Structure 1
Amino acid sequence: MTNNNSTRIFLVLLLQFTFFLTYGQDGWEMLFNGKDFSNFEQLNGNAKYKIEKGEMIGTSRLNTPNSFMATKKAYGDFILEFDVFVENGLNSGVQFRSLSLPEYMDGRVHGYQCEIETSDRKWAGGIYDEARRGWLYPLSRNSQGQNAFKPGEWNHYRIEAIGNNIRTWINGIQCANLVDDVTASGFIAFQVHSIHQEDLEGKIVKWKNIRIKTSDLEKERNNVALYAPEISYLQNQLTPNEVRKGWRLLWNGKTTEGWRGAKLDAFPEKGWVMEDGTLSVLSSGGAESRNGGDIVTTAAFSNFELSVDFKLTKGANSGIKYFVDPELNKGEGSAIGLEFQVLDDKEHPDAKMGKNGNRTVGSLYDLIRAENLENSRGKNFNGINKWNNARIVVKDGHVEHWLNNVKVVEFDRFSQTFKALVEKSKYEKWENFGVIPEGLILLQDHGDNVSFRSIKVREF
């Protein structure tokens, strides 16, 4: 055999070996080669990134914005796996399907982020929408996922982004089960979070074994865990899983079907508009039920789970009521029922009325103040002119209010405690308030411009 032939054979074998290392036998590709950042670019902040022993290492720097080591290539559907170690107290994350555009906040990185954190909140593995919508999938409804991350150790992450399904696992335990269709493709980036405390400067986060698969994904998918509830942000649509579990749309996004005025036999002729999949009550100067008036479902509900997206304008007031009996109040004002308060807490005076904040957003109006029952970080409110989600769960006497998937109110409507609260409230004059066997669901006209969409319910 000639030297030339030997050289050719050697080169072929070397290429095959390199291909095996890079792509593996099953289509996996090493996203980070462990040697250099030739396929990456650093965006936004100036935290330090370096490579040691094949690991990507990010070091926090005081008073610099969030820093991102981003792929130059965009990825749509994929499965991403990596190992990460983060020092205690430092927050981090991995961006995916993310963008940096000059026309959006001067190039600020925005998009989906899989959370890496060591805090007592335990939302590692949740999905945050960086610089856009905030938390999409906190782990407040997934207690098993909350305990997946092990502080002070290497943790193995897996992110599946296939179509509008986004799912995450840490150490084999499912954390997020999200359905969202806002961004279909973008870069992947490894974050060093901004810090403003001197004792956090110099802390590190390390990644290794970063690999990605972009083909033949269906056969590679993990099974969905029963303990990881699906949270969908599809507008006025139900997922196949929601249909299977008995969810139905209470508003179809187009017509008045299933709704009427609380004090009318038909839908109001004025005061409410339906446009681009959004149902809005118009402003009439803050006069309660003086324009179109409240609207209610034509069907009554007893045990149910209700989900409603709402958006407040500045200074606005409204509410989502349940166990409504339209016969209780035939005079002026709103129909009577238990109320999930929808309010601009900063601008509307009602937030400072009542007792101990029991008229603020998410509260059981005039009865129980909404507060974060999961951790001490305050209510998970997205803000004014942004979409928020109200979730109300009723099982016999047990009732829960959830604001953007964080529990804020919990009570038993048949308890002596509830009865005592009613007796000290504006509702004391209404017989059987809050304890009727079934009632209508209501969207309130309080004279302010408030919008609703994705109104859906399932009954137990």
Structure 2
Amino acid sequence: MVPFKISLVRRLIGWPAPCMKSLSLYLIALLTLLSAPITAQSKKGWTYLFDGKSTEALRGYKMTTFPSSAWRVEDGALMAIPNVPNIDLVTKQPYKNFELTFDWKVSKAGNSGIFYYVVEDAVSESGNGNSPNWLDNFEMQLLDDIDFNDKAPIRSAGSLYDLIIPTNKQLKPVGQYNQARLLVNNNHVEHWLNGRKVVSYDINSDDLNRRIAQSKYKENPKFGQSTNGLIMIQHHGQQVWFKNIRVRSL
């Protein structure tokens, strides 16, 4: 269609062929530019925290740089390196109301999690497998439900860790990527796995406060008290992979 239209214009306005060739090249370049995909800053306010290459949007917990001793980019995925001192990743800016989407998979018996409203006030890591803020903040659990040694449903993949058991869950086998979505908006929170909502709760609701009072968090008055903060990706000591990590403020 483009050559036909260009030739028609040339006949109508009398431009010589060389000029029309330049115009054709310009139009092709313009169409290519307009059709190029948007990456770092997506439409509708989405921002990539990890796009398969760059780790610029993330840093280590209480660090100013990315912890390459604990994480690396491998085949377009962000991978936690096993058998090294664990260092969690945090966003460089805080989020209050947000939507987070990502793909994840774990190794056999692998464990990880997504925390939110994190404030970097812990002195140091508590040891391999324990994130510095795990007793202070809500966590969306990421897990191999089959082979991890703790098989309690309330701490299974997709759960609000130690507080709410996920329902309606269809988890992919170990080695395959799951799609996840974490929605936090005006104290309402939803966990999604592979297109299914598996957990829903309201911060400061009577139901959630009752659950906290019956959990391992009951001795910690700081638990769940922050109302704004960083998003944190847990390094639990095992291999875990992430792709297409995107966030947008609501």
Residue 262 of structure 1 is aligned with which of 55, 61, 69?
61
Match of 1:271 among 57, 65, 70: 70
Q: Tell me, in whole angstroms, the C-alpha distance in 2 between the residues paired with 1:256 and 1:402.
A: 24
Q: Map residues 347-386 of structure 1 onto 2, 5 A cutoff.
A: 347-352=147-152, 357-372=153-168, 379-386=169-176
Q: 1:414 to 1:263 in 2, by over 3 A?
A: same
2:116 maps to which of 322, 330, 333: 322
Distance 2:239 2:54 in 1: 19
What is the CA distance between 1:320 and its match in structure 2?
1.3
Render the CA deviation track for 1:294-331: whole Å, top value 9, x for unaligned.
11111110001100110111111111111112214635
Task: Confirm or deny that 1:457 pairs with 2:247.
Answer: yes
Q: Hey, which of these two has a bigger chunk of helix by percent?
A: 2
**Counterpart Cα distance in 1 of 2:149 and 2:38:** 37
Which residue is 2:33 aligned to?
Answer: none
Contact 2:171-2:194 at 8 Å conserved across structures: yes
Aligned 8 A contact 2:49 2:55 in 1: no
Change (3 A) 1:434 1:282: same
Q: Which amino acid aligns with 1:335?
A: P
CA contact (8 A) 1:360 1:369 kept: yes
1:254-299 CA distance string (max 9 Å, x none):
2331211113232213121112221000221xxxxx6241111111
Residue 4 of structure 2 corresponds to none
Larger relative contact order, structure 1 or 2 (CA cutoff 8 Å, min sep 6): 2
8 A Cα contact 1:308 1:389, kept in partner: yes
The residue aligned with 2:224 is 434
- Structure 1 or 2: more strand by fraction: 1
Q: Residues of 2 paired with 1:339 and 1:313: CA distance?
A: 20
CA contact (8 A) 1:343 1:360 kept: yes
- Deviation string 1:431-460 (CA, Å, 9 cap, x unpaired) is 342242211111111110110010001111
Cα distance in 2 for partners of 1:306, 1:334 equals: 20
Q: Please show how residues 45-444 of structure 1 align to structure 2 within 5 Å.
A: 243-284=42-83, 291-328=85-122, 330-332=124-126, 333-336=130-133, 337-352=137-152, 357-372=153-168, 379-444=169-234
| CA distance in structure 2 between the partners assigned to 1:308 and 1:238 by the alignment | 17
Distance 1:429 1:330 in 2: 20
Structure 2 spans left out of the alignment, 5+ residues: 1-36
Q: Tell me if structure 1 keeps the 8 A contact 2:115–2:233.
A: yes
Q: Which amino acid aligns with 1:301?
A: Y
